[in-house]
Amino acid sequence: MKDNPLMIYVISDSIGETGELIAKAAAKQFEASDYEILRFPYHNSIEAIEPVFEDMITKEKKALIYTNVEENTRKYIENRTKELDIPTVDVMGPPMKALEQALGYGPLREPGLIRRLDENYFKKVEAIEFAVKYDDGKDPRGIMDSDLLILGISRTSKTPLSMYLAHKLIKVCNVPLVPEVPVPAEVYKKDPKQIVGLIAGSDKIFSIREERLKSLGLHSSTKYADLKRIQEEIDYSTRVMKEIGCPIIDVTHKAIEETAELILEYINHPEL
């Protein structure tokens, strides 16, 4: 005759995913045992939890894992498990107690906080998607919708800067400046206070472009990596930026983070 299976009850005031994962991980260590996991999500009141204990009473082999954080329900679960002598795992209690001792103040005790996607999360996703969509002048329509427009010749870190700033919740569009390609009309319609130009020394651009060509298996003697051509591009881009009246940042010796901080400072204090 087959033994009755172990019934593992998971009670949570949120979706109970954490408790179930712990139950599965622990049960896997007893592969010879027959078990079943019963999850009871959004049980954040005594009235909701009480029927679960009524069901547990009828089972021969049972264990309880709970992740509740609200004090009243926690006390009720603790008292009932002691009364019924049910093996129990309090997932949230010990970690919250340890952090309370370390920080010197109590927890919020609000269910489901880990799964709440706040406004900043959605803004970040939106900004990243915007940066990808309007990278490298793909679509000039993004210029007017952007929080910031970055101008510069190829290899002045426009794309990595755009992505870095997107994580700061800023919607960035970047447009390459090439002498033979007309500057999109939208650039001149944009408020100069929302535009930043990037330049770099010709030697710096040359070395970056040369490495780029090598990685692509192309010959380094192309026009793209010609010093004279690069200087022409730099001069051209500088003229355009001055004509627009936007700030110009020399990124020759700057890390992405350093340039980003300068841009953020300018965005927050354009009058300086």
Q: Which residues are annotated as a binding site?
A: 152-159
- What Cα–Cα distance (Å) separates residue 261 from each residue in 201, 256, 257, 264? 20, 9, 6, 5
> Can you say which residues are annotated as belonging to the binding site for ADP?
152-159
**H helices then E strands: how many in the chain?**
11, 8
Contact 216, 224 (CB under 8 A): no
Determine the Cα–Cα distance for residues 90 and 95; give it in Å rounded to an integer: 10
CA nearest neighbour of 93 among 69, 58, 57, 109: 69
Determine the Cα–Cα distance for residues 219 and 217; give it in Å rounded to an integer: 7
Burial letters for 142-175: b for 16+ Cβ neighbours within 10 Å, e otherwise?
Answer: bbeebbbbbbbbbbbbbbebbbbbbeebbbbbbb
Burial letters for 106-126: b for 16+ Cβ neighbours within 10 Å, e otherwise?
Answer: eeebebeeeeeeeeeeeeeee
DSSP state of 182: P
CA nearest neighbour of 169 among 133, 124, 125, 128: 124
Tokens coding 91 = 């997932």
Helix, strand or coil, per DSSP, at residue 39: strand
